[in-house]
Structure 1
């Protein structure tokens, strides 16, 4: 089957409008606030401007106010939005909301879509996805899930502690993954539950201090203490939570890559501009061979990342599981984006280290991406395991 990576005219136009909107509207706000949106006022102002520009929530279906972009279409638009740390927030395509919208659109009932997806897609509220737990609970190994959901009269009772839940502070609802059967270590037995923010059984314990600060709503520790939810709070089918998580996780890894690729391009533009203007030792910085190599390596990393993202997105658009492609793309992009930002900071010297430009902030924000959505080591293990399994089958034949 031929692989077509060419965006259609709608996507091209939307990506161009997004690029203009981010540069003209979002970047000045980002620079004013050092890349961090501290208040609901900032979020709502940016999202209002995105609606007026016609670029708001492009990933959701037209029924919910978007363009219904497939994964390849998202790649072009999300990269342009990611040119600013606040671009994804402005377009309502930031994590974790974007991934939750994708999953709700795919598996929620119509009643759940109206109650949760529609206001989420409109930016009227935010959400979070609560799977990760303190050790020895679920993390890189989701099967270690320890939070327990038990059937009670009229619904379910959830008990457990969640850790590093992005965006949980101020979220209107949580998608909580809890074990409804089996024991930690079992491959199945998880169920997803929609938990409203005002549920007295769910409490914010603390903000976890982290290297990155731009993801809205922070990284939170949550406690579920006899948290009662009705039967209609079950998202999808009982005991099928791990299977449904794959609906979210593969595409969410790619949309993370798309957004961070935009920051890599931004860092490269800053570095190239500096190299073209800064003069020392009788010539421009950009005329020095070592600087030229770093700029060239940046271009290579950006182009290779984009190619891997598009290939994985094509597989997802074809309905394939795309596990290998998404693992390869996520691992390479996470490390390539870091290299691009790091080289760019090096080219800018003391200016790059200073707070006068945002490269230092970018470096802090992109470093955790090598851990989020699965550490690079976990993905490499999965990639190698697939290769060895295929080699064993070939040897047997």
Structure 2
């Protein structure tokens, strides 16, 4: 029998340099990423065989350099301690623009040239310039379309969700989910009012907001959030905190939602009864709440379910999909979440999936638990949505015991 105890320290020593190199890379990522976002498109569009006249190359290089310098500066002033909305808008637009430009510079510029080389066609100056104009054209179209997608009132996504433990009296219960409204530097008070009108037209029994109401304090974004007070539901309006609340005085948002008539489910539950059957509607603080330093804020599922009959079906509100591991372990029937934005700007969803178990839609976890992840109602930061449409979600809960129509 091999003595593995003597080999483990050596394995740990072997892994340590790899971990330390990764940690160093992650530490420098905020410095490396902006450089790559602007330098790669600059190289692809100006210096890969196009042979532009010197004034064009100089002006283009200066423009990319200006973007590289302005973006982090504007982001720091807009989202840092100064909280300057105009700077935030500029920084967010530059961030979204650079991401789309970088993506399509790689896809069209780099991969297009590889395809030409593999095919043996070679590449002339004219072909190089065609690639440049193709990248710029695709970027312009996607940014214009993505901005319109971000600013419009979300389309309603409707789906039936069958819960095996749901009683017949609750069959057809209409649950509307909004999340990640992210009221912020761009004033969207009118958009907020129109979203609430759309929600009201759905005649919901329960309306849920699963967090990330805004970027900024409740006092600062109050005008944009006030329309939430007009939302109607026959049974309940419930809310849980998201991670962005904890960047902006979360308790202020909890108090404002309470003032607007929403019930903050901070590690607690309410009972919803209809037709002789009962549904437990529970909520937990965001998973980042415990590190916020705010007294009493933490994600505590046991506290949320304390006193609830374990034989009753449970609808759980939790901002981040990754809470579903705890929900599945506790036998939760359905968890509603947001946070991912569906990636917001393609192909960012690949990075989101490194952190979350689901990106969007309905998924199964464990023997009983369903998770619905919304793409979000608003947008964060860059005012663009590319291949990740926003949504207002209507979930109609179905019981296996409902009477069949003749």
Regarding TM over 0.5, the answer is no
- Greater relative contact order (Cα < 8 A, sep 6+): 2
TM-score (norm 2): 0.24
State which structure, 1 or 2, has the greater radius of gyration over its C-alpha atoms: 2
Per residue, is there more helix in 1 or in 2?
A: 1
